[in-house]
Amino acid sequence: MKNSFDNLLIDTKLRLLKMHHEANAGHIGGNFSSIDALMALHHLVMQADDRFVISKGHSAGALYATLWSLGQLSDEALSTFTLDDSVLPGHPSGGGIPGLLFSTGSLGHGPSLSAGLALAARHRRTSQRVFCLCSDGEWQEGSCWEALTFAVHQRLDNLAILIDQNGLQGFGRTRDVISCEDLGPRVAAFGAHVRNVDGHDPAAIAEALHSPGPGVPVVLILDTVKGKGLHFEDRLESHYLPLTSEQYLAARDTLMGKGNAS
Amino acid sequence: MRKAFAAAVLENHNTDDCFFLTGDLGFMALEEVQQAFGSRFVNAGVAEQNMVGVAAGLARENLRVIVYSIAPFCYARPFEQIRNDICLGALPVCLVGNGGGYAYGHMGPTHHALEDCSAMGALGVRVIVPAFDDDLRTLMGRFTQPTYLRLGYDARPSGTVAPAYSAWRQILPGRRGALAALGPLAGVAWQALQDVPEEQRPAVWAVCEFDEAAIPDAFHQQVANGPLYVIEEHVAHGGLGMHLSFSIAKRGIGCQAFVHRPALGYPTGRFGSQGFHRAQCGLDVASVRQMIAAPA
């Protein structure tokens, strides 16, 4: 029998799907590879004063849907996603998004921003933790490694970086584009505390983030599938292409079927 | 100006809510700041993109942040971080670029900053180019918006006292038009023209900010009645000359003659000191004197 979180997760995925379909927006794959982690983080891990940075700004839809699940964004607001005169653009920016601290979308910015937040929290001797969600392709940006080096040197153990390792990027598989499928060992070699988890298992994600790193930042490698649960699961098309009506209805049925399985 | 800058930082910003970040620069200039700030002084290493991102994170938590490097590494390498992380959030981070223009002369072109003011201004950053050491004390007050501070060398004649800081200051009177000098070049113009009779020279203005609203009426009157000279250690594109001509055109003010001396890059393909490059661009004392002596 599913608990209330499981049911809320399904409802949120359905809302995310509807939002993308109505807006005819792409980047669905990266949203469905990260929605489980976003929901786990916001519902099961983060405390009121914790900070979140969505470095993979192309998963804005999943963030908006998660905020909707928390009651922080309305249905009406979600219905404006990527439309004219909206406060919910395809990559998050501006003052209309609760809890949003930075404009992201250009990859490789979040880890440094998060390190700054974590440094501020330590300076003020608060118990605040800072969570940052990255994509795996994003770690081809040198700035991510600058930030990691800095965060490890500064021993920012109040920082947790989640990497959505779905193995697909804009124009190919990460292993084919630039051989960066082994992020865990690389990050560990930089001195971070690495944990690996099934990125579609909210309970496991919450457990993995329960404790901060041992004197250094935690990097949580989320083993995920791009477009998880959709017709173009683990296919490159899921990075850019919006859903046709037929695809939307089929995906909705699949998600609802899982819901009915309880 | 590094020493004056460091003194001003100590005087105005050594409080618990202020961080100082440096990109591994400041040897023999920032040691006192480092000692005074303690853990709030962070050498972020040779990683300017991260440094600016970290600064934005600190500023987002309502901490005040000064980011220091040499001018080209301060604005060019982390340009996107300045644009997205600082400017889109309107965070009041103060970016300090030491050695604007050709100031790092013999270090070569990678260490020069000739288009920094234009690049930062295009992002909506408040650009300040102090002319004299004494300006720093005034300028290093509270920053309320993204700010770029371009430091150079105070070149005013020995024994002179600069007027109190203002974005526009007339430092020499004159009756033959006006000369606008960007930042430290005001000191060069001061040296060049201090002994030239008033009736034969333009009024000399030290210009430290491009803010159009700060241009004094007296300057416009001088330009309407004589030639306008502009000297700047910055490329023409987006520089002081373009800003002034735009302003004058919008106001419909006639201009008898417009003589513009910007930084020209490396016209001969040869490199040298700041003085060498200034001379190549007609921005040294002798060239400025000749420029004024020639018919405009």
B101, B124, B151 - which closes a domain: B151
List, for chain A, all residue ranges whose pLDDT scores fall below the cut of 70: 1-2, 258-262
Gap from A98 CA to chain B (nearest CA, Å): 14
Q: Are residues B143 and B196 in the same domain?
A: no
Contact present, B289 and B193 (Cβ < 8 Å) = yes
Which residues does chain A have within 8 Å of residue B88's beta carbon, measured at their own beta carbons? Answer: 93, 102-103
Domain termination residue (choose one: B151, B176, B205): B151
Question: Are residues B174 and B70 located together in one domain of the fold?
Answer: no
pLDDT at B190: 98
Nearest to A146 among B47, B55, B56 (CB): B47
Kind plus residue range of the DSSP H or E element containing B70? strand B64-70
* Structural domain containing residue B40: 2-151
Whether residues B8 and B129 fall in one domain: yes
Give the global pTM: 0.96
**Which chain A residues touch B42 with a CB distance below 8 Å?**
119, 154
Distance CA A194, CA A186 (A): 10
Which of A109, A139, A190 should one mutate to test binding to chain B, selecting the residue with the greatest count of B CBs within 10 A?
A: A109
Contacts of B59 in chain A (CB under 8 A): 116
Which residues does chain A have within 8 Å of residue B64's beta carbon, measured at their own beta carbons?
none
pLDDT score for A9: 97
- Pairwise CB contact (< 8 Å): A120 & B84: no
* Pair B177, B102 in one domain: no
- Pick the residue of A134, A143, A148, A156 with the most B CBs within 10 A to test the interface with B by mutation: A143
Domain membership of residue B232 (yes or no) is yes
Spatial distance between the Cα atoms of B25 and B48, rounded to a whole number of angstroms: 11
- Same domain for B177 and B286, yes or no, is yes
Instruction: Kindly report the CATH number assigned to the domain that includes residue A176.
Output: 3.40.50.970
pLDDT tens per residue across span B112-159: 999 999 999 999 999 999 999 999 999 998 899 999 999 999 999 999
Residue B65 domain flag: yes
Please classify residue B55 by burial: count the beta carbons closer than 10 Å to its beta carbon, then call 0-12 exposed, 13-18 middle and 19+ buried. buried
The confidence score (pLDDT) of residue A258 equals 52
Number of structural domains (chain B) is: 2
pLDDT of B223 reads: 92
Please tell me whether residues B18 and B105 are part of one structural domain.
yes
Is residue B268 in some structural domain?
yes
Q: Which residues pair with B128 in a beta bridge?
A: B149, B209
Radius of gyration of chain A (CA): 17
Q: Is A111 on the interface with B (CB under 8 A)?
A: yes
Could you give the dihedral angle defined by the CA atoms of residues B50, B54, B57 and B61, in that order, rounded to the nearest 10 degrees?
Answer: 180
- According to the model, what pLDDT value does residue A229 have? 83
Nearest-CB residue to A112 (from B42, B45, B50):
B50
B202 domain residue, yes or no:
yes
Domain annotation covers residue B156: no
Helix H or strand E encompassing B291: helix B285-293
Chain B closest-CA separation from residue A81 CA (Å): 20
Would you state the pLDDT for residue A261? 33
pLDDT at B277: 98
Query: Which residues of chain B fall short of a pLDDT of 70?
Result: none
Same-domain pairing of B102 and B135: yes
Cα angle B293-B295-B296, degrees, rounded to a multiple of 5: 105
Across the interface, whether the CB atoms of B50 and A103 are under 8 A apart is answered no
The answer to whether the CB atoms of B44 and A93 lie below 8 A apart is: no
- Indicate whether B160 belongs to any domain: no
Q: Are residues B58 and B18 in the same domain?
A: yes
Please tell me whether residues B8 and B142 are part of one structural domain: yes
**Farthest-apart Cα atoms in chain A, separation:** 53
CATH number of the domain that residue B218 is part of: 3.40.50.920
Q: How many domains does chain A have?
A: 1
State the smallest CA–CA distance between residue B57 and chain A in angstroms: 4
pLDDT at residue A172, rounded to an integer = 93
Residues B6, B142 within the same domain: yes
B141: CATH: 3.40.50.970
- C-alpha A166: how far from its chain's center? 11
Interface contact flag, A102 B50, Cβ < 8 Å: no
pLDDT of the residue at A262 = 30
How, if at all, do strands A130-135 and A172-173 pair?
unpaired
Domain that holds residue A223: 4-260
**Domain check: are B62 and B124 in the same one?**
yes
| B9 and B145 assigned to the same domain | yes
Helix axes of A4-23 and A60-69: crossing angle, nearest 10 degrees: 130
- Selected residue of B21, B48, B50 to mutate for chain A interface (largest A Cβ count, 10 A): B50
Q: Do B54 and A121 touch (CB under 8 A)?
A: no
